[in-house]
Structure 1
Amino acid sequence: MKTRVFIAALAAVAATAMPQAATKSITLPPDGVQLKESILPGFAKAQASCVACHSAEYMRYQPPTAARPYWDSMVKRMKVVFKAPIDDADMPAIVDYLVKTYGNEQGK
């Protein structure tokens, strides 16, 4: 019984002694650029995975002559380096969408 009272008292002291973490809120500006719509399955996957972290404008600034290996390495880089929440199974569809919409396979 004494141990429980001591632990409860210790927890109460610790709770008052430690400053409470301040809750912060960040409001991002509206994104003026959206992903180019497509019937490709990778479009919805890119909306869910890519623009959750960065603007769709990022894709517009990539070289329009970029081939499939470039886009494949970019998607892998986002996942490995930046820890983007991309399922391995979704990567080929996202790459296909990106190369056909923003890369050297546009219009194919």
Structure 2
Amino acid sequence: MKKILFQIGIASLAVFAALLVRGEPFKIELPPETSSFKPAKGVEIANAQCLVCHSVEYVSTQPPLPRAFWATSVKKMREKYGSSIPDSQVEPLLDYLVEHYGAKTSGAPAVSSAASTNSIVAAVEPESKTPEALGTRFGCLACHGPDKKIVGPALKDVAEKYRNDATAHAKITEQVRNGGSGKWGPALMPPFPMLTDEEIKILSDWILALK
């Protein structure tokens, strides 16, 4: 039995090595997100900034810790791991995390993803809906520079790709709604179900007009 297992292991390593030599890409399928952050003021920042790298459960399963813990965590993400959380969003993000997942809470899990997107949007105070403001608030500009690649492609490159595509708005809407990877490389774009149709159209019109 041990000999058979050893042979299987050697065969698996051989296949893996062959794929590396041939340069064939590996595709990693991440499991679908099953929870969403609690709907409240600041949830749009958590969705835009935290979900780029973490699942909701990564946050919701932490013990109810004080603000200093969350502040240290956010600082580490920015300074050690290159997170592009703007200075203006740090304190509102900390307010949200402390209020709903920190020492003021019992550490209860996040609400089910079946919760209405409208309830999430309604819980957030109205803010500017210029494309630049939306791009900053929802984290678009943290991963996509207008004219340079950051994590994802430059927005001007997206505009160029879809310049003469009659279905460009639909494709951008689908990407924003569902997220995914593979169109511009292996980097995973998280879904943004909290954006309204109006907000996606504002962003889409802006992106496609870039030259």
What TM-score bracket applies, with the shorter chain setting the length? 0.5 to 0.7
Letter in 1 for 2:93: I
Question: Gaps (5+ residues) in structure 1?
Answer: 1-20
The alpha carbon displacement at 1:25 in A equals: 4.4
Question: Gaps (5+ residues) in structure 2?
Answer: 1-22, 107-211
Does residue 52 (structure 1) correspond to residue 67 (structure 2)? The answer is no
**Distance in 2 separating the partners of 1:33 and 1:84:** 22
Q: What are the Cα deviations for residues 49-103 of structure 1, in whole angstroms up to 9, with x where unaligned? A: 0011110101122111x11111111111111111122111100000000000001
Q: What are the Cα deviations for residues 12-32 of structure 1, in whole angstroms up to 9, with x where unaligned? A: xxxxxxxxx766544321011
The alpha carbon displacement at 1:34 in A equals: 1.5
User: Which structure would you say has the larger RCO, counting Cα contacts within 8 Å and 6 or more residues apart?
Assistant: 1
Structure ID, larger Rg: 1
TM-score (norm 1): 0.68
**Distance in 1 separating the partners of 2:61 and 2:84:** 22
Number of residue pairs matched?
85
**Aligned residues of 1:53 and 1:84 also touching (Cα < 8 A):** no
**Distance in 1 separating the partners of 2:99 and 2:105:** 4
Sequence identity (%)? 36
What does 1:27-106 correspond to in 2, within 5 Å?
27-38=29-40, 40=41, 42-64=42-64, 66-106=65-105
**Distance in 1 separating the partners of 2:28 and 2:85:** 24
**Distance in 1 separating the partners of 2:46 and 2:24:** 33
